[in-house]
Structure formats: C-alpha cells, structure tokens
Structure 1
C-alpha cells in the first residue's frame, strides 16, 4: 500500500511539470517557430531579424565562421532577394527542454527550394 501511495504522489507531482512544459513549448512554437517558418517561406528578412536577439552570435561549424546578427541577417537579405524562389521548411525536434526563462532544443530541419518555373 505504501508503494502505491508513493507512486501516486510521484505521478501527481510530475503531472504539473509536463503540463507546464507543454504550455511553454507551445508558446515557443507560436512566438518563434511559426514566425521562423513564415519568414523563410515568404522570404521576409525583417520578420526573420525580429525573432533573433540583438546579441545573436552564429557559429558555422562547416565553414568555421563566426557572425554577429547584422552580418548574419545581411546574408539572408541577399539570398532572399530572388522572390521567385518557392521554399518550405519543417522541423523535427529530438529534444526540447524549457522553463519560463530559457529553452534548449535539438533537432533537424528539412528545407525544400523549388526553382522558378
């Protein structure tokens, strides 16, 4: 009986954590990832810049380049000048951890670019 009571207390104590985490992840989806997707698919460099912190530091492991926000955003402005490109982007998260102050997400994305007809 004591084991069942401890298990029940454990379940009841972690249930709010999962609910809170789900709420925080949904807020991240609404505030970040939906705008990120919209910016990519509409080639909206201003929206893309607005969802990034002014203190952004982008480290490209492949080409070993470090860029601050202005340089990073200028690259997208240049690439997104061709509005004839149709693109879609989707995400699959392997790990998502969040609280009310910070979040960590790991995953993969699929970017599809269709050339103009």
Structure 2
C-alpha cells in the first residue's frame, strides 16, 4: 500500500485505545516515522492536514460512527493525500466510503480488505 512512499504526516484511527496507542507508538518508532499519537473520539480532537489517513473503523458500530469518522476526512487530507481503510470483508461499507471518494481494493488477507479512497 505505502510501499515506496514515505508520508510526511499520517493520521491513524483506532477504537481500543490503550494497547493500540502503545502499539502504534512502537510501530512508528520502529519504522522511523516521527509524529504524535493522538487519542480522540472518531476524528474530533485531531487537527492539521495529513498525507495519509489510515483507518480500521468499528464497522460493527453502525453507519453513525462511519459518517462521523469519514465526515471530517476531507478536512484532514493534504491536497495529494490518501485514505486507506481496513475492514472485515464480510461488512459492506462501500456506501460510506463513496461519500469520501472512489474506493479501490488494494489488498486482501484472510478476512480483511484494504481499500484506498481517492
């Protein structure tokens, strides 16, 4: 997905925050990506413009959470920015993704799908 491309700023969202925030910080350190890990409710509390937004939304929580999450993505993306969404293959979130842009499947593994939205 991001192979050959080093984003300057990345926004990643997560719903189970304590362990995931620590894992995200460790992963950033290991990959040499400088930045700040922010814990927020969907994207409220996240400011700035990002090259890449990585998201594994709680699709089981329903359309309201997806609408809230994806509703601010355009405000957070840099002009040439990209959104990558990981979700369970059995859950159809295409309608929510199309509100952001054009979804394209860029990867599949086991029961999960990775979609780029432009």
Tell me whether the two structures share a fold, i.e. TM-score over 0.5. Answer: no
- Greater fraction helix: 1
Normalising by structure 2, report the TM-score.
0.22
User: TM-score when scaled to structure 1?
Assistant: 0.23
Bigger radius of gyration among the two: 1
